[in-house]
Amino acid sequence: MSTSANGSGTGALSATRPTEVSQLDRVVIRFAGDSGDGMQLTGDRFTSEAAAFGNDLATLPNYPAEIRAPQGTIPGVSSFQVHFADYDILTPGDRPDVLVAMNPAALKANLADVPNGGTIIVNTDEFTKRNLSKVGYGSDPLEDDSLSAYEVHRVAMSTLTQGALADTGLGKKDAERCKNMFALGLLSWMYHRPTEGTERFLREKFAKKPDIAEANVLAFRAGWNYGETTEAFGTTFEVAPAKLARGTYRQITGNTALAYGIVAAGQRSGLPVLLGTYPITPASDVLHELSKHKNFGILTFQAEDEIAGIGAALGASYGGALGVTSTSGPGIALKSETIGLGVMTELPLLVIDVQRGGPSTGLPTKTEQADLLQAMFGRNSESPVPIVAPCTPADCFDIALEATRIALTYRTPVLLLSDGAIANGSEPWLIPDVESLPDLRVTFASEPNAPDGSGEFWPYVRDPETLAREWAVPGTPGLQHRIGGLEKADGKGNISYDPDNHDHMVRLRQRKIDNIDVPDVEVDDPSGGRARVLALGWGSSFGPIGAACRRVRKNGMPIAQAHLRHLNPFPKNLGEVLAAYDTVVVPEMNLGQLATLLRAKYLADIKSYTKIAGLPFKAEELENVFTDIIRDKEVVA
Amino acid sequence: MTATDLGLPRIGGLDLVPTTDEPQKAKEYKSDQEVRWCPGCGDYVVLNTIQSFLPTLGLKRENIVFISGIGCSSRFPYYMNTYGMHSIHGRAPAIATGLATTRPDLSVWVVTGDGDALSIGGNHLIHSLRRNVNLKILLFNNRIYGLTKGQYSPTSDQGMVTKSTPMGSVDTPFNPVSLALGAEASFVGRALDSDKKGLTEVLTAAAQHRGSALVEIYQNCPIFNDGAFDVLKDSDEAQRRLIPLRAGEPIRFGPEGEYGVGRGGWGGLEVGKVSEIGEENVVVHDPTIADTAYAFALSRLGDQSLNHTPTGIFRQVSRPTYDDQARAQVEQAAQAKTPDLQALLRGKDTWTVA
């Protein structure tokens, strides 16, 4: 794709460039402003432009839990970071090369992350005495020399936007609200981004308010033209398309991929889907997305509470549908008893936990991976459930299908642990061919199965290989039976208080889960086996761990990386893998939950590295951790 | 945004459930499990009544499902030779909602008690009634916790001395019928465990009703709250206390029918002597009145002491059900847009790496 022309559809935006063009392999931009400034939309649009251009990319939205925190304050700052490159990247980037700060609060909240020499573009109109004092600036940082380490561009975005919209008849306030599109236009110019998509998007988004649509387009173009015509910006930058694997791509967020995975699971299993759920951040988008796809036979039930959400899902599964419930950590706490009922009645059920900071209400909009032990043990008594976790936003699609496979094959609730970073983050997704997706068809029981030849139906007769019981749905003649939360006699399924039967059933339920067939964990070690240190992770830390490993290797030190998508049961080869390295380091956004499980199961000497800051690991941080470990190792050796 | 009119036909509660011409017997509805309620428990009578009444519906037995919560009454599904689930405390209406929504070919019954439905499961009860899911909820009200051995329940009398209230309960009890009506229930009935005929009439109407039906069954617990409803079973007392509700008939009671329900009082209805009300002014019962205020006023004629106790069907109105509408949306969506998974996954904005 040529970057010198800007496409014929944007005539107004294709002037000559008097600027110098610099080639970069990767750039990290952070858009930051007040939560009412539309930074999420701005970042999202810039991301779409990068995707349309063919860059690899990763994003990190970061916003407050309050819908509108007090304007102009630090708690009200919302930001969106996008990392785009001409090669395959793994993370949204540690530090922004460019910070767009729409007000003093955004500057103050984000400045520490900008490396020396970084570019800062500020909206000077918001740097008023009042706004400065709101965030504790004694003097204007744009006037003193506190920003001398950075390349600062002062742009009166509000004034320029209002000026550009002066003839539209739009009120001053409405016009000013388009300043985020001005910023987007300016950045799109700086980075030679295609613009048709954004203009089309704005016209669609505001289809019912054409004057607002045109105002946003005008502001967007004004931002572009500002870059083009003023001499404030001497250099523009090009980031060439990435050389990704062949195929057709789209940009996708984790929650959307998860919803699509559920749609696909319904289609590939041939079962109707019922999502029983209750709104909770950051899982609600799964409900929003699925509710748009009723044409695929998907019922979305917004229940009165978390418990009713999972109850309805289990009721649907009992009736032969694919029951799904989605929530975040606090919701799992409420659903625990029903998960236990699913374990006892041995019915398929998909339980999605998009983890967030905790405990209690915690940090609703921030990420964490501290629900692993809750997923593993958070029910009364011995109540084993399989656990899977996606490692990237796009992986949410595959993991939803994998969770469904396990639930349907083994007739069990399955816990799927996503997290806030994966849910809201986005990346390019190589669109799969539907025919290549796993076949998830199931067979319902249709005949009496009593091994004693009595012609009765016994609900707890099992498949000898999977140990799954038969799925006999109401409406099937002759198979009437009763199930429930009370302990059942193996086979016959009547209530049983027999001590030996209970011991047998507890062990059997555990064995069923332990024996689930999961793929081996793969180890990435480009050194060909010279690495003595293994970095092992799970969930959304895949990106930062991988990026850190690349840096360590670039510095000439070998390190192996492995990532777990199956957390219960663990892959069969995991013990061998752990034993093969002198040191296994497990970075987690919790206090060492996976490390605890590994130590308990494998008696392995795990080095746990933890951070619970509500934000993903930075590659640089893990690079230092890994390097230190390897160097210690060398000293010891 | 306005809702789409789904143009659903008004149908009966069982119209989508397959039927059979084979004659059925009560015996066929009995499972092989030994019934283990206490001797003299009111649950036995209710179980027998339901096992006798179900064959009259002519439904395929495999298309009937009983879902219960936790408590003495919730053992019910084990004794029925239908499909059944004995679930967890208070959650049966939620589980049944998922089942009824995905399976219109099933007749779904919820068996619950005063603790299960009104205490731990109160939220699910009111919301399933509000949504009008096609469920029949049988609330066995014995005004006590039986399975946990005798603590006061949300329908126990104030001042009641129980294991957990040695100085007497200070809780104000619920009136389950009033609560259901407050939750916009489209069908609300009440019957006595011992009144096979009355209970059968209410159950039959409930089964035929499309939407949520709540049937409160006064049920005696001989162990922890024996005789709670005796005043309604003593023939002299019963005549003065029970107010049978029959659609299209004037609401009268008393040994000679000398009492009746007339208009007046804050709630709009009050009990009085027919001679004083005037024969022509006695209210003619109409359970199909849309405004819940009428049925609510009926439910408030008496109080916890059972002084005036209407039985029968308080309310029976037709309004769209949650599950019919949810399924209609799915059908409508499928008609408007053929499901194409590959197209969904592709979306609008793609790029190709050659």
Alpha helices for B54-195 (secondary structure H): 92-102, 114-115, 122-131, 176-182
**What's the rounded Cα separation, in Å, for the pair A280 and A296?**
24
Cβ-contact A234, A17 below 8 angstroms: no
- What is the domain class of B10-228+320-345 according to CATH? alpha beta
Q: Which residue in A308, A340, A474 is closest to B63 by CB distance?
A: A474
Using a cut of 0.90, tell me whether the model's pTM lies above it.
Answer: yes
Q: What is the CA radius of gyration of chain A?
A: 27
Taking the CA atoms of residue B309, residue B313, residue B314 and residue B318 in that order, the dihedral angle to the nearest 10 degrees is: 170
Q: Measured between alpha carbons, how far is A164 from A158 in angstroms, rounded to an integer? A: 10
User: How high is the pLDDT of residue A233?
Assistant: 86
Contact map slice: B 106-145 vs A, CB within 8 A = 106, 123-124, 127
Q: Which residue has the tokens 């004659």?
A: B23
Residue of B nearest to A432 (CA): B345
Which residues of chain B lie closer than 8 angstroms to A294, CB-CB? 329-330, 332-334
Lookup: tokens for A233? 């910006």
Q: What is the ipTM of this complex?
A: 0.97
Instruction: Choose among B293, B59, B313, B271: nearest CA to B184.
Output: B293
Q: Tell me, what's the pLDDT at A614? A: 95
User: What is the signed CA dihedral for B228, B229, B231, B234, rounded to 10 degrees?
Assistant: -120
Q: Which residues contact A218 (CB under 8 A, 6 or more apart)?
A: A164, A165, A168, A178
When the pLDDT of each residue in chain B is averaged and rounded to a whole number, the result is 96
Of A585, A625, A616, the C-alpha closest to A95 is A616
Which residues in chain A are closer than 8 Å to B102, comparing Cβ atoms? 272, 274, 299, 315-316, 319-321
Q: Does residue B287 have a pLDDT over 60?
A: yes
Interface list for B 142-201 with A (CB within 8 A): none
- 10-residue mean pLDDT profile of chain A (637 residues): values are 36 57 94 94 94 92 83 93 94 96 97 96 96 94 94 96 92 93 96 92 94 95 93 89 92 97 98 98 97 98 98 98 98 98 98 97 96 98 98 98 98 98 95 98 97 96 97 98 97 96 98 98 96 97 97 97 98 98 97 98 96 95 96 59
Q: CB–CB of A296 and B341 under 8 A?
A: yes
pLDDT-derived band at B353 (thresholds 50, 70, 90) equals confident
Calpha distance B82→B68 (Å, rounded) = 13
Q: Which of B62, B88, B353 is nearest residue A475 as measured by Cβ atoms?
A: B62
Q: Nearest C-alpha of chain A: how many angstroms from B96?
A: 6
Measure the CA–CA gap between A262 and A330, rounded to whole angstroms: 22
Q: If pLDDT is split at 50, 70 and 90, which confidence band does B267 have?
A: confident
CB contact under 8 A, A274 and B339: no
Q: Which domains does chain A have, with CATH numbers?
A: 20-239 (3.40.920.10), 251-433 (3.40.50.970), 443-486+499-517 (no CATH), 523-636 (3.40.50.920)
Cβ atoms of A238 and A191 closer than 8 Å: yes
Give the confidence band of B354 by pLDDT, cuts at 50, 70, 90.
Answer: confident
Q: Which residue of B has its CA nearest to A397?
A: B345
Nearest CA of chain B to the CA of A456: how many Å?
A: 11
Residues 6+ apart with CB under 8 A from A32: A39, A77, A78, A79, A80, A99, A100, A101, A102, A106, A107, A109, A110
The predicted pLDDT at position A2 comes to 33
A605-611 long-range contacts, CB within 8 A, separation 24+: A606/A578, A607/A583, A609/A585, A611/A587
Chain B residues within 8 A of A251 when measuring between CB atoms: 349
Residue A557: C-alpha distances to residues A209, A474, A530 (Å): 58, 61, 9
| Chain B, window 53-92: residues with a beta carbon less than 8 angstroms from a chain A beta carbon | 60-63, 65, 67, 70, 77-78, 80-88, 91
Look at residues A146, A91, A142, A98 and name the one whose alpha carbon lies nearest to residue A119.
A98
Report whether pLDDT(B24) > 90: yes
pLDDT of residue A634: 56
Q: Which of the pair, B333 or A36, is modelled with greater confidence?
A: B333
State the Cα–Cα distance between residues B217 and B138, nearest whole angstrom: 7
Please judge whether A301 and B342 are an interchain contact, meaning their C-beta atoms are less than 8 angstroms apart: no
Give A358's contacts (C-beta < 8 A, 6+ positions apart): A329, A330, A368, A370, A371
Mutation target to probe the A interface, by most A beta carbons within 10 A, among B76, B89, B102 is B102
Strand pairing partners for A426? Answer: A253
- Select from A482, A449, A495 the least CA-distant residue to B65: A482
What are the boundaries of each domain within chain B?
A: 10-228+320-345
Determine the straight-line distance between the first and last CA of chain B, rounded to whole angstroms.
44
Instruction: Please compute, for residue A145, the number of CA atoms within 13 A of its CA located in the half-sphere on the CB side.
Output: 1
pLDDT of residue A237: 93
Question: Which residues are registered as beta bridge partners of A133?
Answer: none
pLDDT score, position B8: 67
Angstrom distance (rounded) from CA A594 to CA B85: 36
Confidence of residue B231 (pLDDT cuts 50, 70, 90): very high
- Chain B residues in contact with A474 (beta carbon < 8 A): 62-63, 65, 83, 99, 103, 106
d(CA A409, CA A587): 32
Mean pLDDT calculated for residue range B243-247 = 98
